[in-house]
Amino acid sequence: MELVQAGGIRMGTEIRTTMATVEVAAPRQHASGGPGGPQLPEPSYAERVRTLVSLASVATLATVSRKHAGFPFGSMMPYALDGEGRPIFLISNMAMHTQNLRADARASLFVTQVETGGDPLGTARATLVGETRPLADGETGAARECYLARHENSRYWVDFADFGFFRMEPMDVYYVGGFGVMGWVSAEDYRGARPDPLAEAGPGILEHMNADHGAAMVLLAKAHAGLEATEVTMTSVDRLGFYVRMKTAEGMKGSRINFPREVRTAGETRAVLIEMVRGLRGE
Is residue 230 over pLDDT 70?
yes
Output phi, psi for 73, to 5 deg: -120, 115
Give the model's pLDDT for residue 6: 34
Q: Closest Cα partner for 22 from 223, 211, 182?
A: 223
Q: DSSP labels for the chain?
A: -----TTS---HHHHHHHHHH----SS--SSSSSTT---PPPPPHHHHHHHHHHH--EEEEEEE-TTTTT-EEEEEEE-EE-TT--EEEEEETTSHHHHHHHH--EEEEEEEPPP-SS-GGGS-EEEEEEEEEEPPGGGHHHHHHHHHHH-GGGGGTTT-TTEEEEEEEEEEEEEEEETTEEEEEEHHHHHH----TTTTTHHHHHHHHHHH-HHHHHHHHHHHH----SEEEEEEEETTEEEEEEEETTEEEEEEEE-SS---SHHHHHHHHHHHHHHHHT-
* pLDDT of residue 42 exceeding 50: yes
- pLDDT-derived band at 116 (thresholds 50, 70, 90) equals low
Q: What is the pLDDT of residues 196-219, one digit of tens each?
A: 999 999 888 888 888 888 888 888
pLDDT of residue 39: 63
Looking at domain 46-192, its CATH superfamily turns out to be Electron Transport, Fmn-binding Protein; Chain A (2.30.110.10)
Tell me the whole-structure pTM to 2 decimals: 0.77
Could you read off the pLDDT of 50-98 as tens digits, one per residue?
999 999 999 999 999 999 999 999 999 999 999 999 999 999 999 999 9
pLDDT digits (tens, 9 = 90+) for 3-28: 333 333 444 434 443 333 333 333 33
Say what the pLDDT of residue 217 is. Answer: 86
Q: Identify the burial level of 56 via C-beta atoms within 10 angstroms of its C-beta, where 0-12 means exposed, 13-18 middle and 19 or more buried.
A: middle
CA distance linking residue 83 with residue 191, whole number of Å: 9
What's the CA gap between 219 and 22, in Å, rounded?
8
Q: How far is CA 200 from the centre of its chain?
A: 10
pLDDT in tens, 164-198: 999 999 999 999 987 778 999 999 999 999 999 99
Which of the two residues, 256 and 282, has the higher pLDDT score?
256
Q: Give me the sign of the Cα torsion angle 114, 76, 132, 93.
A: positive
Pairwise CA distance, residues 87 & 93, whole Å: 18
What is the residue extent of each domain of the chain? 12-43+198-281, 46-192
CATH class of 12-43+198-281: alpha beta
* Cross-strand partners of 89: 166
Mean pLDDT, residues 240-245: 91
The CA distance from 215 to 194, in Å, is 33
Q: What local confidence, expressed as pLDDT, does residue 46 receive?
A: 97
